[in-house]
Amino acid sequence: MNEQYSTYYHSPVGLLKISGTEEFISEVTFHDTSQKAPGNKKHMPPMLINCVEQLIQYFNGQRRVFELPLNQAGTPFQQEVWNLLVTIPFGKTISYLDLARKTGDSKATRAVANANGRNNIAIIVPCHRVIGSNKDLVGYAGGLWRKKWLLEHEMKVAYGVQTLF
C-alpha cells in the first residue's frame, strides 16, 4: 500500500487538509481549527505540493480546471456522481435534479445529494456547484458560507459578476 501524506493550506475559505500519495490526491477537506501536518515532515511528495499550488492558482483566479490524479473510495454510484461533478464547468451550477438525470434516474435526487455530500475532495471535485432546483444554496459539508464564497469567486473570475446568491 502506498504511504499517505497530509499537509494543510490556509485558504481564503479556511484551513484545508490535503492528503494523498506519491501518485494521487485522496482528500481535500475543510478544518475549522489550526493543525500541523502529521507524518513524515522531511518528504512531501510533489503530488501534494502540486495540489497546493493548483489550489493557490484557483483562489488567485488563475486556474479553472484542476489537473491532478484523484482517488477516493466510494460505491460505484458515488464514483459516477463524483465523475459527473468534475464535468460541471467553472462558474456554472447544476441542480441536484439535473445531476440525478445525468445518472439516468431522475428519481435519484436524494441518492445524488448523499453521494455529493460524501465527496472528500472539495473544490477539485466541485460539489459546491450543485444547488437546489429553485436556485437556493442547499447542503454543503464545508458550510453554506463556503459554498456561497466559492460560487461567487467563480462567477467573478468567469463573468465579472460580483454576486448571484
- Active-site positions read 127
CA torsion angle 90 91 95 99 (round to 10): -10
CA angle centred on 119, ends 116 and 120, rounded to 5°? 160
Considering only CA atoms, which of 79, 78, 2 is closest in space to residue 45?
2
- 3-state DSSP helix/strand/coil % of the chain, to nearest 5: 35, 15, 50
Amino acid at 30: F
Q: What are phi and psi of 45, to 5 degrees?
A: -60, 145
Find residue 14's DSSP bridge partners: 11
